[in-house]
Amino acid sequence: MSPKRSHLVLALSTALLFSGQVSAIQQTYASATDWAQQQGTATISLNSVMQSAPASVAQPLATRLQAIKDSASGKGEARVIIRLQSGFTPEGQLASAQAQTQRNTILGAQNNVIDSLRQKITLPESKIKRFDTIPFLALSLSPQALDILSTTPGVIDIQPDRLARPSLAHSVPLIGGATATSLNITGQGQAVAVLDTGVEKTHTFLSGKVVSEACYSSNDTYYGSTTVCPGGAQQSTAVGSGVNCPSNIAGCDHGTHVAGIVAGQNASFHGVAPSANIIAVQVFSRFPSSSGFCSAGESYCALTYDSDQIRGLERVYALRGSYSIASVNMSLGGGYYSSQATCDSDNSAQKLAIDNLRSVGIATIIASGNDGYSTGMGSPGCISSAISVGSTTSNASGLSDNRVSTFSNSVNFLDLLAPGQTINSSVPGGGYEGFNGTSMATPHVAGTFALLKQRFPGEGVDSLEARLKSSGLPIVDTRNGLTFPRIDLTTALAIANTATQEDITQIYVAGFLRAPELDGYNYWFGQSKTASQLATDIFTLSVVKAIYPDSMSNTDFVTAIYNNVFGRAPDAGGLAYWLSELASTTRGNLVLTMIRAGLGTPDGTPGKAYLVNRVDLALYALTQQQGFLISLDPEDLKFTERLVNEDPYSVALARDVIDWLIFLAQ
């Protein structure tokens, strides 16, 4: 056995031994959830985490829990979001039956915790918010109830249900919008969800734009909040539920302004994606000045609970089959995070909701915040699976173009920049005003995703984000010396036909039956060819022809692609369709088209989960090689790819093997 083969056997044996548990060389944990999930089937409570977990996990949890108890003592109750002891995989990586099984398991875990608490305390439904797709519950609990919660089985982490405010402190031409318009790229057929203070849908700038509405808002006597949903409801998806909250509440003009930047249009000017539609999701509640949460001079202010934001995100996910949703805009936030890992841990409920959206091709775009930080940003923008946006100046602000705004939060994990000063857009009452803030920068990016999704409907969030980053105008933040890309549609559209990382990886999975080795990927990426050209070139290589020889009939070729890419035999209709397509294209280009079509099918379509898992593993293998500057052996990559099937846990196992191979190669 060669050294390489023995390394692979060692890696596979170790992965099978641990079966998803943390490996022996990595006994560190990012959070209480991370630690609890490695304890197998043992039943966990908050107290057991604090007593048994490493200090790096137990101490932050104990500190967080004590702060929550102190808050409850001061107010009478504390609003919390608890993590349940239930597994989670983003639903886009699951077949529909698997996703439903996961939801049923989450519901069972929620009911178990609620039933356990109700044996000891009074817990009315009005104090509970359930989530459909993520293993969390939001509760309002007294100090005594929090003590009981600490010993309740099945609760493995806790975070406060925090409050956030709107991120407030001629832009479309500046980012290259004229180029998109000249190419008739206007966001046609796309929708952007705006989670905000609601949208005045009768405004002439937004006439006919709002296609779906929802409201999630909370009554809480201890915090002083009252719902702004129609009829006093705390949640609604009825027509009219997504309208802007009343004008006597500070901040209620915010959502209408944001929606206008995304998709507004009149005879004089327009938003970034003037043909896109808006999904208006109102997630704010009304607070009086007596609550202590409003700024000076505000009789009432609009603030949003984390739990209402999560319900809004879940609503967007539920609408994915009804609309082609390009992105979610969240121009809100607060707090300070200098570490993205800490942010992910502290905001784990929101992260999983965002992960779900990203897994089905919906980007969540969030403001970095307006505190002027140069070493951190607020949440939820700091979440790693979100796309954070900072603000730059423009001519309309009276300052030189393309400087990072002094109020804009900045840190090394900030993703993108966009214009955010003196941005003119719609406000309730039919008028227009110029606002400043990362709130205004964020919808520039959300609208841009609608444009790119129209132009490249088969591409995922990773690919589109990479396009914007690689094509953006580099701008140095003089406060910290860091350079960030300001979105530039002219350049993004000009280079948009070149093959992306996702394209190359998908072609490798079908052609070589494995992930790209780093050296090979760098070669093909450096060719700067379209995905179609690369697919055609790769399928003429002798190593690929050894798998798909020229002598193979077209019927056998399509059948082989079905087996290798979708893990199943073709149905008669599918075989006939692709044979007809092959008559007018190359084999390589047909394969690329088949993959894109497969990824675009509804969840639960036979073969989709297999394809998604194969591509997911291949992308993971490539990014790990890129991170460590290591090019793995192609045979090792092929062997590892064979471990993957429709079961998401097969991906976790294969990832463990990749991690070991990277470790052994160092």
pLDDT tier at 34 (50, 70, 90 boundaries)?
A: low
Task: Give the model's pLDDT for residue 37.
Answer: 64
pLDDT tier at 8 (50, 70, 90 boundaries)?
A: low
Helix ranges (H only) for 495-530 are 501-511, 518-525
Gap between the Cα atoms of 607 and 563, Å rounded: 9
Strand partners, 366: 330, 388
pLDDT at residue 55 is higher than 70: yes
Joined together, the tokens standing for residue 596 give: 């894109």
Task: Give the model's pLDDT for residue 479.
Answer: 95
| Dihedral of the alpha carbons of 22, 25, 28, 31, in degrees to the nearest 10 | -20
Interval 414-436 mean pLDDT: 93
Residue type, 662: I
Task: Give the model's pLDDT for residue 24.
Answer: 32
Task: Give the model's pLDDT for residue 51.
Answer: 86
Task: Give the model's pLDDT for residue 31.
Answer: 64
Rg of the chain in Å (alpha carbons): 25
Peptide linkage before 246 cis (omega within 30 of 0): no
Residue 38 vs residue 512, higher pLDDT: 512
Q: pLDDT of 299-353, one tens digit each? A: 999 999 999 999 999 999 999 999 999 999 999 999 999 999 899 999 999 999 9
Comparing CA positions, the residue from 363, 177, 182 lying closest to residue 261 is 177
3-state secondary structure of 337: strand
Question: Mean pLDDT of all residues in the chain?
Answer: 89
pLDDT tier at 497 (50, 70, 90 boundaries)?
A: low
pLDDT tier at 178 (50, 70, 90 boundaries)?
A: low
Gap between the Cα atoms of 30 and 385, Å rounded: 16
Task: Give the model's pLDDT for residue 462.
Answer: 86
Task: DSSP for 168-220, please give it.
Answer: ---HHHHTTHHHHHHTT-S-TT-EEEEEES---TTSGGGTTTEEEEEEE---B
Confirm if 542 and 655 have CB atoms less than 8 A apart: no
Q: Where in the chain is the domain with CATH 3.40.50.200?
A: 165-175+185-453
User: How much of the chain, in percent, has pLDDT values that exceed 70?
Assistant: 90
Contacts (Cβ under 8 Å, ≥6 apart) of 171: 261, 394, 396, 418, 419, 423, 440, 444
Gap between the Cα atoms of 143 and 106, Å rounded: 26
Least confident of 134-148, 227-241, 354-368, 448-462: 448-462
pLDDT at residue 170 is higher than 80: no
Interval 480-486 mean pLDDT: 94
What are phi and psi for residue 211, nearest 5 degrees? -105, -15
Comparing CA positions, the residue from 565, 325, 587 lying closest to residue 457 is 325
What is the homologous superfamily of the domain 165-175+185-453 according to CATH? Peptidase S8/S53 domain (3.40.50.200)
Least confident of 168-182, 395-409, 535-549, 628-642: 168-182
Task: Give the model's pLDDT for residue 22.
Answer: 33
pLDDT at residue 171 is higher than 50: no
Residue 363 vs residue 498, higher pLDDT: 363
pLDDT at residue 164 is higher than 60: yes
Choose the most confident range, by mean pLDDT, from 461-470, 530-539, 600-609. 530-539
Task: Give the model's pLDDT for residue 664.
Answer: 87
